[in-house]
Structures are given as C-alpha cells and as structure tokens.
Amino acid sequence: MRLSNVEPASPHRSTHPAGSEYNPPRHSPAVVRPLAISGSEDKVRQAARALTDGACIHLIWTMQNSTGPSGVKYKRVVLKLSGEVLRGKKAGGDPIDAETLARLCEQVKEVHDLGVQVCVVIGGGNIFRGLAGEQRGVDRTTGDYMGMLATVINGLAIMDCLEKMGAKVRVQSSIPMNQVAEPFILRRAIRHLEKDRVVVFVAGTGNPYFSTDTAAALRASEIGADILLKATKVDGIYDKDPMKNTDAVRYDEITYSEALRQRLNVMDSTAFSLCQDNNIPILVFNLNDRGAIRRALSGDKVGTLVHS
C-alpha cells in the first residue's frame, strides 16, 4: 500500500459558484510527499481520513495479488488439521489440550502476520469420528453428522485462541447454525481474507460420506488457494509406514500420478482427485516441527510437496 499526500504549492481559494464544475488552474504545481503505511486497506483509509483538512488525498491501492506478501512464496493457503492434533501427547487427556492449541495457533498467527491469507479446515477426530462410530453400531450418516458437529467445537476453540492472540477470525460452517458461526458463503469468505481475517471452515462439506480432507480440497479449489497444507504427525510422505519400518524413504517431491501409482496414503482418493483436477499442490509436513508452516511458505524445503 502507498499513500500520497498531494498539496498545491501555491494554495488559492475557490471563487466558483456552488454546484458548478471547478477545475484547478493548470499552472499550479503540486508537491507530492509519499507516505509509507503498512496494514490492511481499512487502516490505510483511516490514515487518509486522519490527514489535515484541505489536503488532496491520492490513494494508491496495490493489490497483493500482483506482488504477494514480502518474502512469502504463497499468498493464499488452506491449512488442513486433523482433530487429533488438538488432543496433545498425553494419553487420556482432554480432547482439546490447551498447550497444544496455543502452540498450533501461534504458528497460524505467525504466518498470518506475514501477510498470508490463511484458511483453516479442522477435523473432529479428537471428539468423535464417524467411521469409528459406525464400528460401535452408530448409523454411518448419523455418525458423520456427529463428527461434523465435533469440528464446529474445534473450530470455535481455534477462533477463541487466535482472537486472544490479536488475530481477527471468522468461522464459517457448512451446516447452518447462525448463533455460533456464519454460513459458508464463498464471496464472503474471500472478502474476509482480503480484510486480513483468518477464516476457519467447519462442519466438513455438510454432507455425510465426505471426509474433512475432501472439505479442505473443496474449499481450496473454491477460494483459489495457492497450496493445501496438510499437517500430520510425520515429516512428509514415505514409501512405507515410517512408524513400522525403519528403512522407509521420505520423498521431497512427488507427482500426483506417481503417488497414485504407488498407492501412497496422502489423502483420501476424493480429496486427492480434487487437488489433482484443479492443480492445487499439496504439502505434507509435521505440525510438531515449530516454524514449519512459516518455512514452507517462505519456500524452504519442508515435508513433501505433491504437484503435477
């Protein structure tokens, strides 16, 4: 953003009749003093209104779409988080561990402060998982809706934590619940991002039989995200389960087609196909690695990048 304070070098009083068109003298030179102001568009406009009366304001709004945030490779991102990450490492602990939540939100706030437009899609596995409920006799459709409600609880927890850190946050739900969250409206979500707000998408896609991975891929496609960040408990994609095989090999990069050919468990097939069809790269990384999101968005090699 750049704001210029333009003042006539030789000020003069207007004598033109009220309501008539007035053109300043062509010979009046002007002195332009550029003022660098950082912040959102609203902050720039507030600064413009605060200038002294009589100053001629020339507001030049440089869209971030053309330049991008300074030092950051990606401008608009979707961060997919499993609900399980909120539980923490303590066995039998609370579904939402306060320290884990704060550590997660610190990383989100860190990249948001860089000027990155951040959307978060959160799962609900720390509270209830639809597939697990089916194994206990719960109807699959009912269980999936229960899981969607669990994501709303997690989303509100993230909103509360981020707001206490000074971030502006909006929660949008795929299931209407106006007293606790906005309904998902694409144009409103994009406007929130443009106004430097973090947007948390909850309730999955609003439909049973679709995972929150699919919801993340769908939202990333809709808002035109530059990349989908998938936070996991491991530092990338391996040719075999690294928890069970010490000789597992990690990929720095891999193509969609190669990941499909090797049947690597990156995301569920529906989510993966959405990203492939819409050419949205996927970065799989370890959330427990502090600063991993910031380094990834800065272009450093973090985790595994899946691309076309």
Give per-residue pLDDT as tens, 269-285.
899 999 999 999 999 99
Instruction: Kindly report the CATH number that applies to the domain delimited by 76-307.
Output: 3.40.1160.10
- Residue 68 pLDDT grade (very low, low, confident, very high; cuts 50, 70, 90): low
Least confident of 111-115, 208-212, 244-248: 244-248
pTM for this entry = 0.76
In the chain, the percentage of residues whose pLDDT exceeds 90 is 55
Q: What is the mean pLDDT of residues 234-258?
A: 89
Could you tell me the CA-to-CA distances from 122 to 62, 85, 100, 169, 179 in Å, in that order? Answer: 32, 10, 14, 14, 19
Q: Using CA atoms, how far apart are residues 97 and 103, in angstroms rounded to an integer?
A: 10
Can you tell me the mean pLDDT for 142-158? 96
Q: What percent of the chain is modeled with pLDDT above 70? A: 76
- CA-CA distances (angstroms) from residue 112 to 136, 167, 169, 195, 294? 40, 8, 11, 12, 9
Print the SS3 string covering the chain.
CEEEEEEECCCCCCCCCCCCCCCCCCCCCEEEEEECCCCCHHHHHHHHHHCCCCCEEEEECCCHHHHCCCCCCCCEEEEEECHHHHHCCCCCCCCCCHHHHHHHHHHHHHHHCCCCEEEEEECCCCCCCHHHHHHCCCCHHHHHHHHHHHHHHHHHHHHHHHHHCCCCEEEEECCCCCCCCEECCHHHHHHHHHCCCEEEEECCCCCCCCCHHHHHHHHHHHHCCCEEEEEECCCCEECCCCCCCCCCCEECEEEHHHHHHCCCCCCCHHHHHHHHHCCCCEEEEECCCCCHHHHHHCCCCCCEEEEC
Asked if pLDDT for residue 131 goes beyond 80, the answer is: no
Domain residue spans of the chain: 2-62, 76-307
Structure tokens of 27? Answer: 């010979």
Q: Model confidence over 199-244: pLDDT tens digits?
A: 999 999 999 999 999 999 999 999 999 999 999 888 899 988 888 8
Q: Each residue of 278-308: pLDDT tens digit?
A: 999 999 999 888 888 999 888 888 999 999 8
Q: Is the pLDDT reported for residue 62 higher than 90?
A: no
Provide the token pair at 56: 């001629």
| Rounded Cα–Cα distance for residues 237 and 44 (Å) | 43
Q: At what angle do helices 269-277 and 212-223 cross, to 10 degrees?
A: 10
pLDDT band at 4 (very low <50, low <70, confident <90, very high): very low
User: pLDDT tens-digit profile of 6-58?
Assistant: 444 444 444 445 555 545 445 444 444 444 444 555 554 555 555 444 443 34
154-208 confidence digits (pLDDT tens): 999 999 999 999 999 999 999 999 999 999 999 999 999 999 999 999 999 999 9
pLDDT at 227: 96
